[in-house]
Chains A and B, each alone.
Chain A
Amino acid sequence: MRPELRRRSAQALALLAACWAQAASAHVQQAEAAGLLTGLLHPVSGFDHVLAMVAVGLWGAQLGMPAIWVLPVAFPLVMAMGGMLGFLGVPIPGIEVGIAASAVVLGAAVAFELRPPLVVAALVVGCFAIFHGHAHGTELPPGQSALLYSLGFVIATGSLHALGIGIGTVHSRPGGRQLLRAAGAAISAGCAFFMWRALA
């Protein structure tokens, strides 16, 4: 396909998206808009969530292909299963501890440049994803669209992974490897505080 045609297709899609102008629903009483917004904001509502999501992306970038995309794919899928457990009222003990631990462990993995087999890395990420999903799943505000809430927090989670991957690509630059390890150490140390607070 010629680049010009691709560019025009992209422009047409952007125009179509612009025409998909819904009511701004600036007032949070509008349930539909609030469901999407709530979902988008939920993963960023807690610093421990944010750091853990970014750490997944950092670790994936550090491990390189195929982990760089396998980990960000595995996480939302397993997170969704955790969310289902949350909806169904299946209790999982120590959710907050698990969430904090995820950032500690993943940050440490980046800091120490741990390179387990892909399956092991995916399992580690998947185990922690259960905790995150369970936390999201139990917190749908009443009256809001479950579908839009789900789309919102999946998109936000994936975007945080992408942010981590983007930051993680510094490891291929001079000095970037050390910088990445320092970032992992900072995440791990920072979330050790959250874990201490959860355990206290």
Chain B
Amino acid sequence: MRSRTLTLLALLGLALACGPAEAHLNATGMGPVYDGLMHFLTSPEDLVPALALALLAGLRGAPYGRRAMFTLPAAWLLGSLAGLMAATASAGPLAAAFWFVLLGGLVVADAKLSLRSMTLLGALLGLVHGYLNGSGMGLSAAAVVAALGLAAAVFVLVVLVAALVVPLRAQWARITVRVGGSWIAASGLLMIGWSVRGV
């Protein structure tokens, strides 16, 4: 009874001593994190290749998933930081199309890549796309924070997707993932066509 009274008094004291809510992100300085996070989630050119790599890593098993979940976001962050310091670069849709076709094709084939190859693939993907993202932002404190948000989003995506795919044992489930890879590869082929046409 006494401890409950003391607890209630303590809670009352905390409620009366509340500080500013700092609900607006410009007060906390955390806005750019969400900018980076949302940029990744709303850019299919970046999201789909990362998704494809996560699917591929998941199909290969837990060690590959663990490797990808750190390699890809770390490389993406490094690439972003490098891109921030560079002049604006634009590879157009061809860079994304290349990754769509390559990674989608590897998923369809359920390619038996070595761990080293998977690591290299993740690093290259992260560096290239990170560089393209960073070069479009320009160097500033907010852009560095946005790059962190972007890398965090990549990390979360890879973790969740690979974690869902790794335990799939049923043949139909793995085939479904591979069919998804064919969709990604097909979209990449179409993107190549669009690029040639100049759309």
A residues near B, CB below 8 A? Answer: 1, 5-6, 9-10, 12-13, 16, 19-20, 22, 69, 72-73, 76-77, 79-81, 83-88, 137, 140, 146-148, 150-151, 154-155, 158
Contacts and interface: CB of A to CB of B under 8 A. Distances in A.
Contact of B187 (A1, A9, A80): A80
B191 to A, nearest CB: 6
Nearest to A72: B179
Contacts of B178: 69, 73
Contacts of A158: 179, 182-183
Contact of A84 (B160, B183, B192): B192
The size class of the interface chain B forms with chain A is 20 to 34
B35 interface: no
A107 B30 CA distance: 57
Given A80-B187, A147-B93, A137 B179 contact: no
A9 B194 contact: no
Interface in B102-117: 108
10 contacts: A1-B163, A76-B183, A80-B187, A80-B189, A83-B190, A87-B194, A146-B190, A147-B93, A148-B44, A150-B186
Given A13-B161, A69-B179, A154 B186 contact: yes
B41 interface: yes
Interface of B: 41-42, 44-45, 48, 93, 96, 108, 156-157, 160-161, 163-164, 166-167, 175, 178-179, 182-183, 185-194, 196-197, 199
Contacts of A73: 108, 178-179, 182
Contact of B42 (A16, A22, A72, A81): A22
The 10 tightest CB contacts between A and B, nearest first, are A84-B193, A80-B189, A150-B190, A87-B193, A146-B194, A80-B186, A76-B186, A1-B167, A73-B182, A87-B197
A86 B193 CA distance: 9
B67 to A, nearest CB: 17
A148 B48 CA distance: 11
A151 B156 contact: no
Contacts of B187: 80, 147, 150-151, 154
A10 B189 contact: no
B189 A77 contact: yes
Nearest to B62: A1
B191 A150 contact: yes
A69 B172 CA distance: 9
Among B93, B163, B187, which residue has the most Cβ atoms of chain A within 10 A? B187
B90 to A, nearest CB: 15
Contacts of A22: 42
Given A72-B179, A154-B186, 12 more contacts: A5-B163, A6-B167, A10-B164, A16-B157, A81-B189, A84-B193, A87-B193, A87-B199, A88-B197, A148-B44, A151-B48, A151-B187
A39 to B, nearest CB: 10
A20 B93 CA distance: 23
B42 to A, nearest CB: 6
